[in-house]
Amino acid sequence: RGRTLAEAYHKSLEALYEHGEITDCPDYNQLQKECSMTIFVEEPMGEPMISKLFIGGHSDLEQYRQEVLDGILDFRIGHGWDYTYHNRIAEQLPFLYEELKRNPDSRRAVIDVRDWKKDTSHGNTSPACLQHMQFFIRNGKLHLKVLMRSNDAPEATFMNMFAFVMLQKRVADELGVQMGTYTHRANSFHCYEKDFNLLEGYMR
């Protein structure tokens, strides 16, 4: 739990380092440190927002934001990629807006990103890690709760959370409500063996 996105992310890395269990990861032929993690951000747009532990530069983060929100890499679908998060999210946004305008107190404003037919088909090596997103309006604020089946803590989690918060802000602006909290649940929150030294370095 943290006030800002960066603070909450840093605490999640510390918790993984201290409490994660070493397990086998045969799909990637290495060990991993793993736990289940819920990350709660009180003020998702609060500063400082961007983590200094984020792998990559600001241009990488902006590209990923545009990838998720605006679909700048949707052209790769059918050319090595089976889907993008944007493709699966965007087609459900009209329902989301309609539902929250119909009933701002709704518990039905869910975007399902996992496509069980495609993501479990034989030979699919990249099933969606993001499973679903649920939006709640409570007391005039839009809260977002995200479920990941799997999340690479040092290499992917911060980029995921940053882009999803930017989507939350876009939805809040469209609906004319304030930003609420952000909750990020990863059932497998992990660090691969190749990054053990990286994770340990963060603790120094």
Secondary structure element (H or E) that encloses residue 94, with its range: helix 93-102
User: What are the tokens at 31?
Assistant: 């060990």
Q: Do residues 152 and 33 make contact, with C-beta atoms less than 8 angstroms apart?
A: no
Phi, psi of 203 (to 5 degrees): -80, -10
* DSSP three-state, residue 164: helix
Q: Residue 135 to residues 92, 170, 173, 179, 184: CA-CA distances in angstroms? A: 12, 12, 13, 11, 12
The CA distance from 13 to 8, in Å, is: 9
User: What are the tokens at 17?
Assistant: 């380092």
What would you measure as the largest C-alpha separation in the chain, in angstroms?
A: 50
Q: Which residue among 25, 35, 129, 191 is the active-site one?
A: 129
Task: Confirm whether 25 is a catalytic residue.
Answer: no
Q: Quick one: which of 15, 4, 13, 35 has its CA closest to 157?
A: 13
The residues assigned a catalytic role are 129
